[in-house]
Copies of this chain bind each other. A is one copy, B any other.
Amino acid sequence: MLFRKDKGGRKMKIQLDCLPCLLRQALAAARLADAAADVPARILDRVLPLLADYRQYRCPPDLFRAIQQVIRELTGCADPYAAVKRQDIQAAQRILPQLQRFLAEKGNSLAWALRIAAIGNILDSAVYESVDLGSCLERELSQAFAIFDLDVFQSRLQDAGNLLIIGDNAGEAVLDQVLIANLAPREVTYALRSQPASNDATLADARTAGLDSCARLISSGCPAPGIILTDCRAEFLDIFRRADLVISKGQGNYEGLSGTGIQREVFCLLKAKCPVIARAFAVQLDSYIFQLQTWHSG
């Protein structure tokens, strides 16, 4: 059975520390949607009661989905991060050839391909005010993973004919091409948000990122900035269930998956960009993580 009641496993309910962060992200998204003087204030007037109700939400992406809905209603803007995503995709595309050459020099090792895919995770304008990926590339590449379940991944990979990657930020999707190429000839399905969610990649963003040339793109059906299985389409759930291997990218997907009592192996590839996630993995803030998760439901 794939879904069970929340009996065991590690859950990522909304922590108190998430509230100031969600409020900050709400304000940033509100201003991107409509910077007119009174609009962000009117949006916060409706967001603050949502925050006060935080216990009603399953995980941070679930609450942020409700915040996005308020922004959409009050501004008519369905995709506040559209321009930011375009910039992030372009920035990632500029450094892609450099990273492909770098990987070739490293003998196309799987370890380095995973590292490059993880580095894409810093293209997160919702967390960082501004990221100049080019300038911090060397530092990020030299940072070892705090948790790196490479051996078990390689052993699972031997028998795997197909993989599912659950995508995260739009810019990150560009760099995921390096990992997907490295996983060939296995068939890779890449899942996207069903509608704009923070700066995460939608189907359209993934095409702009050039991902349709190397993976089968599908919409998960989930509109939150983090995959919540109970909100997903049957087609996605079927792929999720049957995939030989699943890689979940980023904090939002980890938060969503860990809140919904699933029982299957998922490799989580992310950078711990906030203290809540760092605590959950017992790593230092800003650590890179590649960890096999199995949420047992007891």
**Which A residues are within 8 Å of any B CB, using their own CB?**
16-17, 19-21, 23-24, 27, 40-41, 44-45, 48-49, 51-52
Contacts and interface: CB of A to CB of B under 8 A. Distances in A.
A213 to B, nearest CB: 40
Given A16-B44, A20-B20, A20-B24, 11 more contacts: A16-B27, A16-B40, A16-B41, A17-B27, A19-B23, A20-B21, A20-B27, A45-B52, A48-B48, A48-B51, A48-B52
Contacts of A20: 20-21, 23-24, 27
Contacts of A41: 16
Contacts of A17: 27
Contacts of A16: 27, 40-41, 44
Most buried by B among A20, A44, A45, A49: A20
A52 B19 CA distance: 13
5 contacts: A19-B27, A19-B44, A48-B48, A48-B52, A52-B52
Main secondary structure of the interface of A (DSSP, over half): helix
Contacts of A49: 52
A240 to B, nearest CB: 33
A60 to B, nearest CB: 14
Contacts of A48: 19, 48, 51-52
A195 to B, nearest CB: 25
A29 to B, nearest CB: 12
Nearest to A48: B52
Nearest to A44: B16
A24 B51 CA distance: 13
Contacts of A40: 16
Nearest to A43: B16
Contacts of A19: 23, 27, 44, 48
A40 B20 CA distance: 14
Top-3 shortest CB links A-B: A20-B24, A48-B52, A20-B23
Contacts of A45: 52
Contacts of A51: 48
A123 to B, nearest CB: 22
Nearest to A52: B48
A44 B45 CA distance: 17
A20 B25 CA distance: 9
A69 to B, nearest CB: 18
A225 to B, nearest CB: 18
Nearest to A41: B16
